[in-house]
């Protein structure tokens, strides 16, 4: 198993540009989520999905879109990048939404918006 994979590892964007951060897992997990990590603030939930075709907002969803067309993939789209979106982004997955299972994290994407 590759676990949770994320691409790209690093990205620099100009203000106003759009892009998609890719996330994939090969563990047949139902639950997938996106977090951002900023210095001194811990991780904050952006969006999550409890299964293919089902997504919902987390704590900080503004400026981001997600979709879940397959169990394996959960891309995060930045619609119009802003400097406030400079952060490290982590994708995670878990076997079930019930909260009884461990969350597995990808290696992260470091995004800089100039």
Give the residues lining the site for another protein (CB under 8 A): 31, 33, 35, 40-45, 48, 50, 56, 58-59, 90, 92, 97-108
For another protein, which is the closer residue by CB, 71 or 105?
A: 105
Cβ neighbour number for residue 64 with a 10 Å cutoff: 19
Decide if 98 contacts 112 (C-beta within 8 A): no
CB 42, min distance to another protein, A: 4
CB 63, min distance to another protein, A: 19
b vs e for 4-21, b when ≥16 Cβ sit within 10 Å of the residue's Cβ? bebeeeebebeeeeeeeb
Helices (H), 1-114: none
CB 16, min distance to another protein, A: 28
For another protein, which is the closer residue by CB, 34 or 113?
A: 34
């Amino acid at each position: 198993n590759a676990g949770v994979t994320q691409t790209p590892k690093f990205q620099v964007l100009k203000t106003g540009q759009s892009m998609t951060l890719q996330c994939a897992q090969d563990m047949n997990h139902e639950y997938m989520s996106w977090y951002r990590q900023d210095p001194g603030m811990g991780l904050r939930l952006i969006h999550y999905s409890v299964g293919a075709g089902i997504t919902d907002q987390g704590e900080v969803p503004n400026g981001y879109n997600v979709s879940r067309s397959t169990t394996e993939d959960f891309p995060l789209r930045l619609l119009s990048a802003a400097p406030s979106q400079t952060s490290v982004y982590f994708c995670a997955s878990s076997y079930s939404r019930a909260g009884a299972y461990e969350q597995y994290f990808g290696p992260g994407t470091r995004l800089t918006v100039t």
